[in-house]
Chain A
Amino acid sequence: MISENSPIILSVNDLTANVDGTQILKGMNLEIKAGEIHAIMGPNGSGKSTFSKILAGHPAYEVTGGEVSFLGQNLLELEPEDRARSGVFLAFQYPLEIPGVSNLDFLRVAYNSRQKHQGLEELDAFDFDELVQQKLDVVKMDAAFLHRSVNEGFSGGEKKRNEILQMALLEPKLGILDETDSGLDIDALKIVADGVNQLSNPDNATLMITHYQRLLNYVVPDYVHVMANGRIIRSGTKDLALELEERGYDWVLDEAAAGVA
């Protein structure tokens, strides 16, 4: 939902970054306002996951230039955990398994660390249980998953649902979904998309990263950006996604190359 006067949540200016000495991001620019849903699409290897991990603060990536401001704050100087507590959430392409740590305990530790950071009340096991039960509905998840180890033995779809459950609990200002649709069958995709829609509101923003247009049928973006070779080469509305679906990426790449040349 676009509204001109909404506050800016994320502003990325000319961001460049390396991994292991190789430049991956070559000048990213992006502005996201409250209430908006953005999608970044692009061929494999274009730097989409790199961009999302840099926003979340992954230590393997070295920012070499540019700025990222999140709610007016310099995001790049925050530790990953402080970014999370301030309202950045990254739903992982490949969520990790943590044997021996119950999903419920994990969710509560994560929830309370955010509460504490924001000066809000931490919940004991009893109250938290009540809260989490409500949130399970968002992704139609069975309560049995709470008592299993985090992601251990979960199917691909269950892992992705668990990511959205975490997002539902942490109520981020910016939810970044990296390939949340990959590996999901159509039923799971609908559940996940439905969850994302429920969580979207005028005060927060969502950035979806995807290779396919499919997800965008269910979570309709306000803006679609095409990323290639470390930068955004074209931006448009949801129609751009449909056009990409029909014609592939080559024409955008060609046009961008022609424009540069």
Chain B
Amino acid sequence: MSIQVSPTLPDVESEIRSELGLSGSAQKRQACLSRLLELAIASPSPASWLQSLRDRATAQVQSQSFPSNRNEGWRFTDLSDLLGIEFAAAANSSVQLADLAAYVLPEAEHSRLVFVDGVYAPHLSALSHLPATLQVGNLAALAEPDELLSYLAQQSGADELFTALNTAGLSDAAVIVLPKQLVVDPPIHLLFVATGGDPRSAQADQRPTLTQPRCLVVAGVNSALTLIEDYVTLGSGVCLTNAVTEIWLAENVQVNHTRVQRDSLAAFHIGKTAVSQARSSRYIGNALSFGAALSRHHLEIYQTGEQTETTLNGLTMIAGTQVGDLHSAIALTQPYGTTRQLQKCIVGDRAHAIFNGKVLVPRAAQLTDAGQLNRTLLLSPKARVDTKPQLEIVADNVKCTHGATVGQLEADEVFYLQSRGIDAASARRLLVYAFAYEIIDQIAIASLKQTLCQFITSHTD
């Protein structure tokens, strides 16, 4: 078991080693990035108004290099497995609704947008139960995109490498625009399907694919929305998903957002969630990460008005040799903001979870209240977690708490259940479930909750 609760000095030896091999591996990284950028640029550009955005992002990518372990933010998350892979664009696929049966949510049966390999799939989507004043659909089809220009790719951090890579290839996107006062009742389900290596894919050679899903939510004053952002893969081929979601909450908006990443174990997943919150808005974000050989989620919250509330619940459950990384950053920039963050990790086998939780409280953010807790359950002696709270507090009249706990299943807990006749394996399964349930319970959609509970039980042994 390896537990890392505070930053350590970089490993000097490996630094020297990488110094020597610099040119070789740096070249490989550059080649990989060029290839990905090439694929992004080659994606169809649906409108001229998008092109300048894409061009600017392309330049941003070109001015950066592909991260290595020597970058502080990527110290524990090694992308070198990506370097040798010859990614290609996904070919058209013939996914049918029946293929998605396991993912369809009854609560959102008529409020679902499906994207296959980043491309909007109208025949799989169903929008009949949404109010007429709500603009929802894919970017390419929007009639008046002009007003979106002040939101699309406009969050702070849009120039970060993978976000810019996504923007450089921006073509389709899920777009949800809520006019002021609109409260949308049915939850909106955004289902992003990657078909990497799927037999239904028309792609004969089944080369590893790059898909770049994109989502933009602009919620007007006093509006409210429940959103499920769901990443799944059909098939078990290698694929890289590089997703970006931007959410803008105007004054007094309430958004309840659940993000589920359940890609296949051959997938790589890099994702960004950037949320901007105006005065008195409330954002609840539940981020669940189960799949992918390697996943990295950037979760960024910008409180831009007073009295904003942010609640972040996270669950990373990984096993085998999976790597699951959450980098969150919460910027409280105004007075009276509150944030509550609970990140739980369940790590089995030789898997490796990473949590880096930044909280920024500048001088202007007086009388704010920020709480952060990371709790990890290690299920095997080789399982590992690196957790690092990063509080940067300048304001003096604030309440900030943070904590990290790392533990194993308590022998006393297992014994309690055994003493009621429950065998040891079932007892452990029940306790892992109980640990996860605190997060699952926050999900507003009953059917999704149930599916994820079953997933957790069937993935514990």
Q: List A residues at the B interface (Cβ < 8 Å).
A: 53, 56-60, 79-81, 83-85, 89-90, 92, 95-96, 98-101, 106, 109-110, 113-114, 117, 149, 166, 170
Contacts and interface: CB of A to CB of B under 8 A. Distances in A.
B421 A110 contact: yes
B416 A166 contact: no
A166 B411 CA distance: 21
B420 interface: yes
A247 to B, nearest CB: 35
Nearest to A100: B437
Given A79-B424, A81-B423, A101 B418 contact: no
B336 interface: no
Given A100-B434, A100-B441, A166 B420 contact: yes
Contacts of A53: 415
Interface of B: 411-413, 415-424, 426-427, 430-431, 433-438, 440-441
A59 B431 CA distance: 17
Nearest to B436: A100
Contacts of A59: 411, 415
A178 B430 CA distance: 24
Contacts of B430: 98, 101, 109
Chain B CB within 10 Å — which of A79, A90, A92, A96 has the most? A96
A80 B412 CA distance: 12
A100 B433 contact: yes
A106 B416 CA distance: 12
B437 A99 contact: yes
Given A96-B412, A99-B438, A81 B431 contact: no
A99 B416 CA distance: 14
B416 A84 contact: no
A98 B432 CA distance: 10
Given A110-B422, A166-B420, A170-B420, A80 B433 contact: no
B438 to A, nearest CB: 6
A81 B433 contact: no
A113 B422 contact: yes
A113 B421 contact: yes
Given A100-B433, A100-B436, A100-B437, A95 B416 contact: yes
Contacts of A170: 420-421
6 contacts: A58-B411, A98-B417, A100-B433, A100-B438, A109-B426, A114-B421
A79 B418 contact: yes
B423 A84 contact: no
Contacts of B423: 79, 81, 113
Contacts of A95: 416
B412 A110 contact: no
A84 B421 contact: yes
Contacts of A100: 433-438, 440-441
Given A100-B437, A100-B438, A80 B418 contact: yes
Contact of A98 (B415, B419, B434, B441): B434
B422 A109 contact: yes
B415 A80 contact: yes
Contacts of A57: 415, 418-419
A92 B418 CA distance: 13
Nearest to A94: B412
Given A100-B438, A101-B434, A110 B416 contact: no
B33 to A, nearest CB: 43
Given A98-B413, A110-B421, 4 more contacts: A81-B421, A83-B419, A100-B433, A170-B420
Nearest to B440: A100
B438 A58 contact: no
A107 B278 CA distance: 48
A110 B422 CA distance: 6
B443 to A, nearest CB: 13
Given A113-B421, A170-B420, A99 B426 contact: no
A166 B423 CA distance: 17
Contacts of B431: 98
A58 B415 contact: yes
Contacts of A85: 421
Contacts of A92: 416, 419
B416 to A, nearest CB: 4
A59 B419 CA distance: 11
Contacts of B411: 58-60
A89 B418 CA distance: 11
B419 A56 contact: yes
B48 to A, nearest CB: 52
Contacts of A81: 418-419, 421-424, 427
Contacts of A106: 420
B418 A84 contact: yes
B74 to A, nearest CB: 34
A183 B40 CA distance: 66
Contacts of A84: 418-421
A58 B411 CA distance: 9
Contacts of A149: 434
A96 B410 CA distance: 11
B418 A99 contact: no
B434 to A, nearest CB: 4
A166 B422 CA distance: 13
A13 B424 CA distance: 28
B111 to A, nearest CB: 28
A60 B416 CA distance: 13
